[in-house]
Amino acid sequence: MRVLITGCKGQVGYCLTEKLAGQVELLALDSEQLDITDAVAVDKTVAEFKPDFILNAAAYTAVDRAEEEKELAYAVNCEGPRNLARSAHLYDSVLLHLSTDYVFDGEGGTAYHENHTPNPQSVYGASKLAGEIAVAEECNQHLIMRTAWVFGEHGNNFVKTMLRLGLSHNQLSIVGDQYGSPTYAGDIADALIAMMLHVASGKQTAWGVFHYSGAPYVSWFQFAQRIFDAAKSNVVLAQTPSLKSITTAEYPTPAKRPANSRLNCEKIQSQFDIKPSDWQKALTNISAYK
């Protein structure tokens, strides 16, 4: 089985590459090796390697900066996936593509199902939704995974930020009125691989959008509490800071964040037997996040 991974140096791409190395015929490329916004380069790569599966973990994820770099965000998050989808369709590859909770406005009172109407409130969210639409338009054999609050040992994320700030601050103010699902990058990689193997085995597959994130749902403030609890019990920090819960209004950002980022993951569990990410278990290895 031939597998092409794009964005192999990102949080999820790194995990995918580690897990699939030696298991399949693998071509893992970062943005310097393959610029997915270059349609000619994408077509050449796919034509030469002829992958059975393309796992697209490449993305523009600078949420606040995207408000000023709209063209770049759309190039990477929309045109890049479109190029991959066109080539996947042309060479009969299956495309698995990562998306985000930011496609929703966050104003709903319950966890979002896949059939809830997207209404992104930021350039980042809008560019990711445009990418979803492009993938669906260009490639019939596609699986889109929306996920949220990604963290892992590799790359930049909330867990690493908290540990870094915990070294130099006695008190931290953390937003307590935004709720969602922390999701461990290694679990996302496992879920994508499980979906890929399901298709490869010849089992009937319903193409389309699936939600995958962690359980239980928490606020950023509660997530920070769990991080520092783990840091304390694993002696990662000699002392942990006191935490103060603040509102979104007290911590303004250029891009609007969804107040409700909770994703309902029943569909992916039903179709692929994939359970939500156990993000609290992932924190037991917190010394690896330093």
Which residues carry out catalysis? Answer: 124
Burial of 32 (0-12, 13-18, 19+ CB in 10 A): exposed
Report the C-alpha gap between 58 and 54 in whole angstroms: 11
Among 260, 4, 13, residue whose Cα is nearest residue 152: 13
Identity of the amino acid at 203: K
Alpha-carbon distances, residue 136 vs 86, 126, 141 (angstroms): 10, 16, 8
Determine how many CB atoms are found less than 10 A away from the CB of residue 290. Answer: 13
Burial of 185 (0-12, 13-18, 19+ CB in 10 A): buried
Report the C-alpha gap between 62 and 52 in whole angstroms: 30
Alpha carbon 231 to its chain's center: 24
DSSP state of 284: G
Report the C-alpha gap between 56 and 97 in whole angstroms: 5
Q: How many CA atoms lie within 13 A of 149 on its CB side?
A: 29
Preceding omega of 241 cis (within 30 degrees of 0): no
SS3 128: helix
Report the C-alpha gap between 110 and 17 in whole angstroms: 34
